[in-house]
Structure 1
Amino acid sequence: MELIDSHCHLDFPEFTPVDQLWQQCRQQHITNIIIPATEAKHWPRIQTLCKQYKGCYWSAGLHPWWVEHQSYLELQTALEQALEDPHCVAIGECGLDGSKGISDLHTQVLCWQLEQARDRHMPLILHAHKAHQALLPLLKAYQPLTGVVHGFHGSLELAHRYIRLGFLIGIGGGITYPRAQKTRSMVSQLSLDHMVLETDAPSMPLYGHQGKANSPLALADINQCLADIRSESVEDIANITSANSRRLFGLDLCDNRA
């Protein structure tokens, strides 16, 4: 059985030092972790982690929470060099967040990253919170694209709109909450071929762990919860979602190259 965490901020200070945690991940069959960057100034630490821990890869991008003119200039200057790193497998975390406000600069920064992903044939890691109506037309305008909609909590119909635009659906700890009926219903019906697993650690703690820092070790519990909801085996859930992550991020090629 193999588990892949498609979205974990392993570079955040909550995980320092990483050695013991990484050993525990491997013991729980977590073979790979994708570390999405939030802004360019943090890329060197992420690159160091990926060189140190075999199975860790990263995504270079600018998160909508940290969009400003200076961070945009840093992104534009540094991205080409970042994509030469064999451990860099995607562009992002990028997107829109309606709860924080969507300015013209937010849209400009996102569109630049969408253009880069399309032209370089790179998958995207998308942040899409309370912004679907603004985000979906942009994704349609920059086709063809591939990637994952991280931390998805929407309906089955909304999931299919993203899937038609080339995206997989990131499933995380939100499904462990009994009140998340819409999301749990969606994952019970959506084909596993369209899902990847994620923790978003240290954010998005599982039900019963509210207020605590999340961990990539929670991936096994997310996998178990999804298996319970779908009445399928944990092995099938793990292996199919991991194969989806491997295919999306080209991890088999990266393992041979890194």
Structure 2
Amino acid sequence: MLMLGDRVELIDTHCHLDVADFAHDREAVRWRSGVAGLVGIVIPAIHAAGWADLLALCADSSADGPVLYPALGLHPVYLDQHADQDLAALERTVADQRPLAIGEIGLDFFVRDLDRTRQQRLFESQLTIARDARLPVLLHVRKAHDEVLAILRRIRVCGGIAHAFNGSLQQARQYQDLGFKLGFGGMLTFERSAKLRRLAAALPLESIVLETDAPDMTVAAHRGERNSPEYLPDVLAALAQVRESNPFDLAAQTTTNAREVLELGK
């Protein structure tokens, strides 16, 4: 792992620290993440049943460690866990709690047997909530970039992040034009991810943010293990390698990018 300590400030723009995988050592993970240089962790929701605990976790986090930021949404993969009334509940909760963003939302055409029409309705409804609340969105997109981009052109939100981006350079530029940053995580640390690494090298640095998606999609050094936000420096090191750039410069810019798109500090 690239050891950075207090010399940098990193933001993990996508980490499910609220899930059961971290139940036994969540605060220890958070403390180690702070030692690794993280100053912020964005925690996106996946279903309405988890909103209350997620909000409580972010509200109750101690001062010793990265700030935890909540995002609320209904993940497309968990359609069977979403009820019709969840959209109204989301609108109310957003008004009451004012999360950092709406997410994790989007379209997943990779998983078989997920109702595409219902996914699209759910996505469009959540984009409308985000637009009206003037909040950025955290996108989950698999095998559906063109469809998501078309919807984003119709329902204009104030930007956001295309999480775990794996589309083309052309699609990346379209997201940029719509005010989005592109999230890169653990897959960038694997040398076999040749296409992704070429993309990370070719994109303007101003369009890139870092993420872990912990506990999933772990880094190469921890293959087969639970992913963790404390491994974010590994993603930074991989980005520095493929761009042949100074990791401290990259840390500063990607953190600036995250603050800008998520309106942190405003």
1:116 aligns with 2:129: yes
- Specify the alignment match of 2:237 in structure 1: 224
Q: Helix, strand or coil for the counterpart of 1:170?
A: strand
Distance, in Å, in 2 between the alignment partners of 1:192 and 1:226 is 10
- Specify the alignment match of 2:145 in structure 1: 132
Q: Helix, strand or coil for the counterpart of 2:166?
A: coil
> Retained in 2: the 8 A contact 1:40–1:75?
no
The one-letter code sitting in structure 2 at the alignment partner of 1:38 is I
Q: Helix, strand or coil for the counterpart of 2:83?
A: helix
Displacement of 1:144 in angstroms is: 4.3
- Specify the alignment match of 1:256 in structure 2: none
Unaligned runs of 5+ in 2: 1-7
CA-to-aligned-CA distance 1:9-28 (integer Å, 9 cap, x gap): 00011112311111111111
Displacement of 1:208 in angstroms is: 4.5
- Specify the alignment match of 1:104 in structure 2: 117
Distance, in Å, in 2 between the alignment partners of 1:196 and 1:224 is 13
- Specify the alignment match of 2:56 in structure 1: 48
Distance, in Å, in 2 between the alignment partners of 1:235 and 1:82 is 35
Change (3 A) 1:72 1:230: farther
- Specify the alignment match of 1:20 in structure 2: 28
Distance, in Å, in 2 between the alignment partners of 1:78 and 1:167 is 22
Which TM-score applies when normalising by structure 2? 0.90
The one-letter code sitting in structure 2 at the alignment partner of 1:4 is I
CA-to-aligned-CA distance 1:159-216 (integer Å, 9 cap, x gap): 1111112211001111112121111111111111111100000011112533321110
Q: 1:93 aligns with which of 100, 104, 115?
A: 104
Displacement of 1:29 in angstroms is: 1.1
Distance, in Å, in 2 between the alignment partners of 1:117 and 1:37 is 14
Distance, in Å, in 1 between the alignment partners of 2:222 and 2:35 is 22
Percent sequence identity is: 35
Which stretch shows the higher mean deviation, 207-216 or 103-112?
207-216
Which stretch shows the higher mean deviation, 190-199 or 100-109?
100-109
- Specify the alignment match of 2:18 in structure 1: 11
Which stretch shows the higher mean deviation, 190-199 or 95-104?
95-104
Which stretch shows the higher mean deviation, 172-181 or 56-65?
172-181
Q: Helix, strand or coil for the counterpart of 2:199?
A: helix
Which TM-score applies when normalising by structure 1? 0.92
Distance, in Å, in 2 between the alignment partners of 1:144 and 1:220 is 30
